[in-house]
Structure 1
């Protein structure tokens, strides 16, 4: 049903690992694009998903990070450590720079297991569709910001996932409004011809190796508004201090105080998830766990929010 797209940074992998049971229980399937040469965290995460009986898609030809030029480690990992677990399926990523002539060689690395095709800006849809139409093992198409004319070439796939970035435009933390609409895809994906949907959580599609200086620390939390057709919104709790990149811990506590104040307001729509419980604990202890952990908690909250929505 829900396919959240993760880049395989440490805290993103930890977020998946810590929610492996919830992901399995709700039939969610994370898409993971590995970006770090050290694969220990990735293996721990995939092991947790396997132990929980969860599904996942592992991009085998990443376009970002350490594996964008050589991906033999990823192929070896799937072909050996997870050869007996087909629910962790390889994802073949076709973007604007992909060459169709290279596709058969990549495809041949994976036989006798389900395969997902990930479309992101590839521009030869009709040719690719003809090439794979009779390949029964490629049973899933994941479309990232693809239009309906492109997608219709792959209507023969039983699983069709529509993934969109909730952030229409990337801005600095300081430039975010207090709240803005984030997505309606959890409501409309079937109407758009998809069987499932996904997003880039609260991180967005834009990739950077490291974060920039924290002039403004923000906590980005999503919520669903039952009074407005169940649209999803995102609220940005920002620090007051924004002039220098110093004291990220103090800035976090400023943003956290705003979050706690809002949570305790009558009519607050942010769900009291386990992640929110962790934020409350941090506030009680006046503890700054690091910006990576803050992002991890926001991602966990996003997944929990969607799980609660579909439970209802």
Structure 2
């Protein structure tokens, strides 16, 4: 079983991945995907951390969100590392994709992401798909009927409240059990956008509440718990709202199994005792690190690498 957690290359996403690489907690069958969105130093530093610790990572060569792909002169380029076999070059299937780019040198792997059925069907009939080692596709019946090769399902499990709703409406809920259906649907693995979701916004959106997101397992089901600040009336006082939310987390975490009490989750809970506000970017980083630490332990126990 393979897991490809999908990240957009924002600053704190990359810092979470860099820390995880340095901790060397990921088994070989958990391979993060980075779609670059900004020309920042953290991008090559994160790729270097995976290379230096002999762990595989995917970087999308033709990112389709933000204007990163349009920047001709990259100040912080990841491509100097592409000769290392642990760097898997990924591509998003688009009408402008050149088939030759899907072919990798001997000993290197490639990954192809197909988000649209029509484009996938055209590439299938043209014979392009055989060149990629991993093919990520939406979990749709018509796609499974089209292809006769093992694939990886890609699905966005994150939920974002709309209009007058908030995370306080659903503080606990189902997140994923994609691995339980993988064999049945002939998938060799699964991919998702973790807790960050697949939607990309260059600047983000302000929120009246501060919400901390932690994934956890109940049996074979991955769930998500949301710790929402009590104050949700306006956009002010994020520090005070963080303390309201983290107090709920600090009360909840000790009641959970040891596997849920990851180092990242414990660090988040410690901010309640310390009464320290690290900033929402650090909170996001630790929530992502927790998810990867949790999934790493689950995979080591249930899908060990030979």
TM interval, short-chain normalised: 0.7 to 0.9
Deviation at 1:37, TM superposition (A): 2.2
Q: How does 1:19-98 map to 2 (within 5 A)?
A: 19-20=20-21, 21-22=23-24, 24-38=26-40, 40-70=41-71, 73=74, 77-78=78-79, 81-94=80-93, 98=94
Deviation at 1:261, TM superposition (A): 1.1
Q: What is aligned with 1:186? A: 179
On the 8 A contact 2:47/2:78 being kept in 1, the answer is no
Deviation at 1:289, TM superposition (A): 1.0
Gaps of 5+ in 2: 302-306
On the 8 A contact 2:216/2:294 being kept in 1, the answer is yes
In 2 relative to 1, CA 193–109 (structure 1 residues): closer, same or farther, beyond 3 Å?
Answer: closer
Deviation at 1:188, TM superposition (A): 1.9
**Matched position secondary structure for 1:2:** strand
Deviation at 1:18, TM superposition (A): 0.5
On the 8 A contact 2:157/2:197 being kept in 1, the answer is yes
Q: What is aligned with 2:304? A: none
Correspondence 1:163 to 2:157: no
Deviation at 1:291, TM superposition (A): 1.0
Deviation at 1:150, TM superposition (A): 1.8
On the 8 A contact 2:43/2:77 being kept in 1, the answer is no
Correspondence 1:204 to 2:194: no
Q: How does 1:1-312 map to 2 (within 5 A)?
A: 1-20=2-21, 21-22=23-24, 24-38=26-40, 40-70=41-71, 73=74, 77-78=78-79, 81-94=80-93, 98-99=94-95, 102-104=96-98, 107=101, 111-112=105-106, 113-133=108-128, 135-136=130-131, 138-143=132-137, 145-156=138-149, 160-167=151-158, 170-171=161-162, 173-226=166-219, 230-265=220-255, 271-312=260-301
| RMSD of equivalent CA atoms | 2.6
On the 8 A contact 1:32/1:59 being kept in 2, the answer is yes
Q: Which has the higher contact order (CA 8 A, sep 6+)?
A: 2
Deviation at 1:27, TM superposition (A): 2.8
On the 8 A contact 1:61/1:71 being kept in 2, the answer is no
On the 8 A contact 2:117/2:143 being kept in 1, the answer is no
Distance 1:133 1:109 in 2: 10
**Matched position secondary structure for 1:103:** coil
Gaps of 5+ in 1: none
Deviations 1:205-238 (A, max 9, x none): 1111123223100001111102xxx211111100
